Amino acid sequence: MMYKVVVPGDFISDEVDRAGEGTYVDNGKIYALNYGIVSDKGAIKVVALSGKYVPTMGDVVIGRIVELSYPFWIVDIASPYEARLHLSDFSRGAERRIDFSSMSNYLDLGDWIIAKVQKVDALMRVDLGLEDEIKIDDRGRLIEISHTKVPRVIGRSGSMIKMLKEKCKCFIFIAKNGRIWIKGQDENMNLATQVVLMIANEAHTSGLTDRVAHFLDSYEEKEK
């Protein structure tokens, strides 16, 4: 499949009822709202190539604690909107109530967590809930790419990420907000990082999965 890049205001199609995300309809025609790639599967969409992450309910994100403000932890989620995590999410399993002074025993400034977006209200207040595995430890590596490129790193029905995990022998966790957590041996992490950045760089090109596969194979051969 060839990727077609459009700029805002480009005419895309006459099929008004198929207008999807990243497009708008004017005078019976669909135009692009984003600078991005046209996706023709189902609804006609324009997938942006850059832009800021806006949380939506159900997204799993990687965030950093930036403030302790009882009874919340304020979390940076690589978005214009900061998120908050309520104490009660934590105290559920705890024996006793958490007060302000002991908040930092659970999560302290600078800690990285994996969390799920529970709710986003009209005022863009973002509430997080915890996932099973929440805390990101020092082992491993965290890299950040544009959230718009996350789908490419995952690949169609997870094909890309599956291959990456296999070939790089790493644990890789991709969050919706573009942060990626990689854990494994040093050189494996190097390779995984390199490939992820390569995917992000070439996210707008076609045949990417094949090229990545080829790259990984040739890397393997060099190693032998």
Partner 1 sequence: MKEEGIELIKDGKRLDGRGFEELRPIKIEVGVLKRADGSCYFEMGNNKALAAVYGPREMHPRHLQDAKTAVVNYRYNMAPFSVDERKRPGPDRRSVEISKVSRAALDPVILKEYYPKTAIDVYVELLQSDAGTRTAGINAASVALADAGIPMKDLVSSIAAGKIGGEMVLDMNAPEDNYGEADMPVAMIARTDTITMLQMDGRFTKEDFKRGLVLAKKACHEIYELQRAALLDKYSERAGEGGEE
CA distances (Å), origin 176, targets 116, 123, 158, 189, 216: 10, 21, 14, 20, 25
H helical segments located in the chain = 88-91, 100-106, 150-154, 159-168, 186-201, 208-223
- The minimum distance between CB 21 and partner 1, in angstroms, equals 10
Closer residue to partner 1, CB minimum distance, 68 or 197: 197
Site for partner 1 in 69-98 (CB under 8 A): 80-82
Answer whether 38's CB lies under 8 Å from 73's CB.
no
Task: Of 170, 204, 202, give the one whose Cα is nearest residue 214.
Answer: 202
Residue 65, exposed/middle/buried by CB under 10 A (0-12, 13-18, 19+)?
Answer: buried
Site for partner 1 in 193-212 (CB under 8 A): 194-195, 198, 201-202, 204-207, 211
Residue of 30, 31, 145, 170 interacting with partner 1 (CB under 8 A): 31
Q: Does 56 bind partner 1 (CB under 8 A)?
A: no
Strand order across the 29-32 sheet: 11-13, 29-32, 23-26
User: Three-state SS for 68?
Assistant: strand
Q: Where does this chain touch partner 1 (CB under 8 A) — which range of 3-11, 97-105, 155-163, 180-188?
A: 3-11
Q: Does 187 bind partner 1 (CB under 8 A)?
A: no
Answer whether 17's CB lies under 8 Å from 216's CB.
no
Residue of 33, 44, 87, 126 interacting with partner 1 (CB under 8 A): 33
Residue 176, exposed/middle/buried by CB under 10 A (0-12, 13-18, 19+)?
Answer: buried
Q: Does 9 bind partner 1 (CB under 8 A)?
A: yes
Q: Where does this chain touch partner 1 (CB under 8 A) — which range of 7-15, 104-112, 152-160, 171-179?
A: 7-15
Closer residue to partner 1, CB minimum distance, 102 or 194: 194
Answer whether 4's CB lies under 8 Å from 37's CB.
yes
Residue of 16, 54, 68, 154 interacting with partner 1 (CB under 8 A): 54
Residue of 124, 144, 158, 166 interacting with partner 1 (CB under 8 A): 124
CA pair distance 91, 106, nearest whole angstrom = 10
- The minimum distance between CB 93 and partner 1, in angstroms, equals 33
User: Interface with partner 1 by CB under 8 A: which residues?
Assistant: 5, 7-10, 22, 24, 26, 31, 33-36, 48-52, 54, 80-82, 123-124, 146, 148, 194-195, 198, 201-202, 204-207, 211, 215
